[in-house]
Structure 1
Amino acid sequence: MGAAAVLTAPGSAQAANLLTNPGFESGSLSGWSCSGGLGSVVSSPVRSGTKALAGAAGASDNAKCTQTVAVQPNTAYTLSGWVRGNYVYLGVTGGSSTWTASASEYTRLTVSFTTGASQTSAEIYLNGWYGQGTYYADDVALDGPGGPGGDTEAPSAPGSVRSTAKTSSSVTLAWNAATDNVGVTGYDVYRGSTNVTTVTGTSATVGSLAANTPYSFTVRARDAAGNTSQASTAVSVTTDPVSTTGPNVPFGSHTFPYAAGTIKVSGDQAANDAKVVAYYQQWKAAFVRSDCGNGWSAIASPDADHPYVAEGQGYGLTILATMAGADPNARTTFDAVLKYVLDHPSSIDPDLHAAEQNTACQSVNGGDSATDGDLEIAYALLLADKQWGSTGTYDYKALGVKRINAIKRSEVVAATNLTNLGDWALGEAQWETLSRTSDWLPGHFRAFKKATGDTAWDTIRDKHQTLVANLQSQYAPSTGLLPDFVINTTTSPRPATGQVLESPLDGAYSWNACRDPWRIGVDALTSGDSRSLAAVRTMNGWIKQTTGGNPDNIQQGYRLDGTVAESGSSVAFIAPFAVAAATDPGSQAWLDALWNKLNATPLDTSSYYGSSIQLQVMIAITGNHWLA
């Protein structure tokens, strides 16, 4: 091909267009094929109409979306499209392309080419660039004459459409591949007469269905020329009914007594439980979303770097399993969040969860894992097994054990028996010696040993508890505070100096370590472990004294010597100290003051982090936390 490529200012598109679904207004990727399943149709931002393409480029995939069209030999064509994002490419396979380095608003790209002497088809493409995040495209046009005697033969109908899995809100379908004289490029899945999704493979999950309801599904194949097959033979599937099996540990049953020498908040137990339930209902309404279809629900994180993060899914699953009994739909929601987790595996260790997703629920930033999220997801699966058993749609116990083994394999450093930050850090010299104290969860490690029978988890727990004691003794003897991050874990572990990952306060008691009194404290409450009790009782004695017993005086960040590192008030810092207070029988008045503070703090719908911490602390200090 001969070609010339230019970047033009916004202008009007030409009338002729050989492309199928050029503006994505079908609401699907019909006519397009995107690598890695990373293409989707979104409602915002759009250049015109109501839909646009989003391509979630990651560290290992540039989210290339292609379409093949019939063309005439020795003929000039002009390809154009409107794009938005960093390093977005538009081009013709085997020919030329053009790109823009950075477009914060939709910008038009244009490339012209002349077909070869015997060329009768051309593949056009859009893609982002590795690690540059999601790009958007709209109003793509290929202007020129269509190919003479182009492909008019439709593919055969897909065969043996069948259901391979179902829940109360989703059905997973599979079928045998269709054939075509040129090649099948995609499949349109219909629920009745409605095209609900378009995929390039031979399976799809249809979500947002009603429970215990019959549905009829058909599939049509399509080729690059836009020819579609006859509908497949219909398959009828009835969704599962909503489970009516009651939970084994209904919220408020208080079946698991806390350790001797610990306390709960004062007042009527039923009234206190009701306050937790009321806060939970607000939390669920604010943060549990089902915006992406596919039978998914996910915990939204408006205050995080991305709309959905692994830690949020873990917190959500633990909360949902705990609140069963108070919420009759807890298991249905749990399964929908679990489906989201399972459908977003890490790109490195697929038995772990990809840490971050965008607004289209596509994994971004390489799609690798985050240890904090996986620890919580694994623990929540063990809770679910205790709560509902493992004979329903999901085998919670088997999934939990599988994830626990993956955590040990990819998120615990064998040389130190300490957690790393995610599977991406394993084997990386720069990162293997860094650990985050808020991932040091002795109660979870106990549960993992019990579930797997693997004594390595006793060693892992011991290493973390020993390091907690050493850090407190050497760097915070009067406060007991732990740093966000610890460096030099293979030699002489110590608090981070300056910024090693997130902020200049990485070596201080900041936005990660603020969870430590709660995370270590719940182990102290439930197991009575002497090391966990000692660790959080030191923190409790210091914060009670330094604030004069007034929760309003708790600041949102301290250096390890107790001086204020960041002034201001946040429930993410206030709430965890309540769990530490509950470990000390001499702190009843202080615990009650913290409880009253939490009840006077309204849920902040813009902060999933603080709200999720607050809810789990309220569960713990009312005696509703229990062991997996």
Structure 2
Amino acid sequence: MGYSLWEFEVYGTPSSTGVAVPFGSRQQPYAAGILRPSGSTATLDAQVVDHYRRWKSAFVRQNCGNGWYQVISPDADHPYVAEAQGYGMVVVATMAGADPDARRIFDGFVKWKIDHPSSINPDLLAAEQDVNCRSVNGGDGATDGDLDVAYGLLLADRQWGSSGTYDYRQLAIRHINAIKASEVNPSTNLLKLGDWASAGSQYYYLSRSSDWMADHFRAFRKATGDPAWDTIRTAHQNLVARLQRDYAPNTGLLPDFVENTNSSPRPPAGQVLESVNDGKYYWNACRVPWRIGADAVTSGDPASLAAARKLNTWVRAKTGDNPNGIAMGYHLDGTQLSGGSAAAFFAPFAVVAATDPGSQAWLDALWGKMLQTPIDSSSYFSASIQLQVMITVTGNHWVP
């Protein structure tokens, strides 16, 4: 059950919460021409809040004591993974104003981050914890989780300021600088998989397409004043364009991983990290339309818009504008890998749909499918992606 209108009005005003950017306030307008699902903003926001409450009930926990909050990941390799914590920090900071407990939960996430440092760069988050909340598998960092942790801290600084229990801004800048030092390849300006992918290793010139978050790079540039983040953003946008041109000219699809980033970037022919589908559009790259689209709708950047619209044009033609036709994985030429349906695959296409003025009916169909898809408490991955897509396509994603 969602918030009543009364609750929404009370928690949605800055004067009642001390929140600078309460959920639903849309203080940062999107680029011109970006679509939203049909319906009133009040209805759309109530639908997002309802989904958020269900997500929170399913996945946000206070396990192992110590004042920690964490997002559980029943479908990951370990009960707690950095990716899930990053999602939680971004989501909860964004939902401030709609959730009166947002700051308390966020501070529990921050304490978890501080108490689980990477064994390689302690300003980063250790990627995996066991059922006893102890870091395992070497305790090193994962780039995707670190990017969202840093972004979430910037959101928190904007929402609540940094004079409380934690100096969010200082923690964010330390985290951003640690990402640059340990998770960006200095010779390519492209993201590595984590702080563990060291020079000379087979993973040093391997990158994960779903980590390429241009809106995060913009926020890091603004927060630090470091122009390196403009260089990093441009390098990733150029790589997206190159991969779409050379390997997916008719679809725009990106592979889960890209190898040889120092010479001739290409999709791997087989397994390089996770599965034989590492060079295909699979369980990592399924997030790409959302990540590229998030920058396109907020910045209006021509490169992000072009990449997003290429994906949108392909998926509409592939499915005949039927969201039920979006499968779980594709070869880069658009040949389906498997049947079935998962929110991790269909929801992200709503963000690229929002970039095309001619796709209102398609966006509405995708929105309808999301509303009809209940939270699966065994899949934090799909549920967390769908929630963040819903936040973005309703105009509620913002770049600190």
TM-score, normalisation: structure 1: 0.61
Counterpart of 2:248 (choices 476, 493, 514) is 476
**Structure 2 residue 316 is matched with structure 1 residue 567:** no
Percent of aligned pairs sharing the same letter: 65
Structure 1 CA distance for aligned equivalents of residues 198 and 386 of structure 2? 32
Post-superposition offset of 1:427: 1.8
Aligned to 1:503: 275
For residue 401 of structure 1, the aligned residue among 173, 197, 202 is 173
Q: Which runs of 5+ in 1 are unaligned?
A: 1-243
Q: Does 1:293 align with 2:77?
A: no
CA–CA separation in structure 1 for the residues paired with 2:157 and 2:84: 20
Letter in 2 for 1:372: D
Structure 1 segments, 4+ long, off by >6 Å, are none
Paired residue type of 2:337: A
**CA–CA distance in structure 2, aligned partners of residues 365 and 504 of structure 1:** 22
Match of residue 516, structure 1, among 285, 288, 312: 288
Alignment partner, residue 93 of structure 2? 321
Aligned to 1:606: 378
Q: Show the counterpart of 2:395.
A: 623
Q: 1:464 aligns with which of 233, 236, 245?
A: 236
1:246 corresponds, among 8, 18, 30, to: 18
Q: Is the 8 A contact 1:245 1:388 kept in 2?
A: no
1:390 to 156, 162, 165: 162
Shift of 1:497: 1.1
SS in 2 for 1:482: coil
One-letter amino acid matched to 2:315: I
Q: In structure 2, how many angstroms separate the alpha carbons of the residues matched to 1:406 and 1:245? A: 32
- Report the CA distance between 1:245 and its aligned residue: 5.1
Of 585, 602, 613, 2:357 maps to 585
* Residue 453 of structure 1, aligned match among 211, 219, 225: 225
Number of corresponding residues = 385
- 2:344 maps to a residue whose letter is A
Structure with greater helix share of residues: 2
Give the letter aligned to residue 365 of structure 1.
N
In 1, Cα distance between the equivalents of 2:301 and 2:394? 20
Matches within 5 A, 1:33-48: none
Q: Do 1:413 and 1:426's aligned partners in 2 also have CA atoms closer than 8 Å?
A: no
Q: SS of 1:367's equivalent?
A: coil
Q: Work out the CA distance in 1 between the residues paired with 2:171 and 2:196.
A: 22
Look up the match of 2:260.
Answer: 488
Report the residue type matching 1:299 in the other structure.
V
Match of 1:594 in 2: 366
Deviation per residue, 1:110-134 (Å, 9 max, x gap): xxxxxxxxxxxxxxxxxxxxxxxxx
SS of residue matched to 2:172: helix
Deviation at 1:429, TM superposition (A): 2.7
In 1, the alpha carbon distance for the partners of 2:25 and 2:39 equals 17
Maintained 8 Å contact 1:248/1:388: yes
Matches within 5 A, 1:517-556: 517-556=289-328
Q: Please report how far the alpha carbon of residue 428 of structure 1 lies from its aligned counterpart in structure 2 after TM superposition.
A: 3.7
* Secondary structure in structure 1 of the residue aligned to 2:39: coil
CA deviations on 1:261-307 (whole Å, 9 max, x unpaired) are 21111111101100100010011111011120001010000000000
* Cα deviation digits, residues 340-390 of structure 1 (max 9, x gap): 111000011100000000000000000000000000000010011111111
Alignment partners' CA distance in 1, 2:125 and 2:64: 17
Which of the numbers 185, 190, 209 marks the counterpart of 1:418? 190
Provide the secondary structure at the position in 2 that maps to 1:463: helix
* Post-superposition CA distance 1:212-261 (Å, at most 9, x none): xxxxxxxxxxxxxxxxxxxxxxxxxxxxxxxx852101011111111012
RMSD of equivalent CA atoms? 0.8
Higher strand fraction (1 or 2)? 1
Counterpart of 2:216? 444
SS in 2 for 1:366: coil
Matched letter for residue 214 of structure 2 = P
TM-score (norm 2): 0.95
Rounded to whole Å, the distance in 1 between the matches of 2:43 and 2:366 is 17
Which structure is richer in relative contact order (CA contacts within 8 A, separation 6 or more)? 2
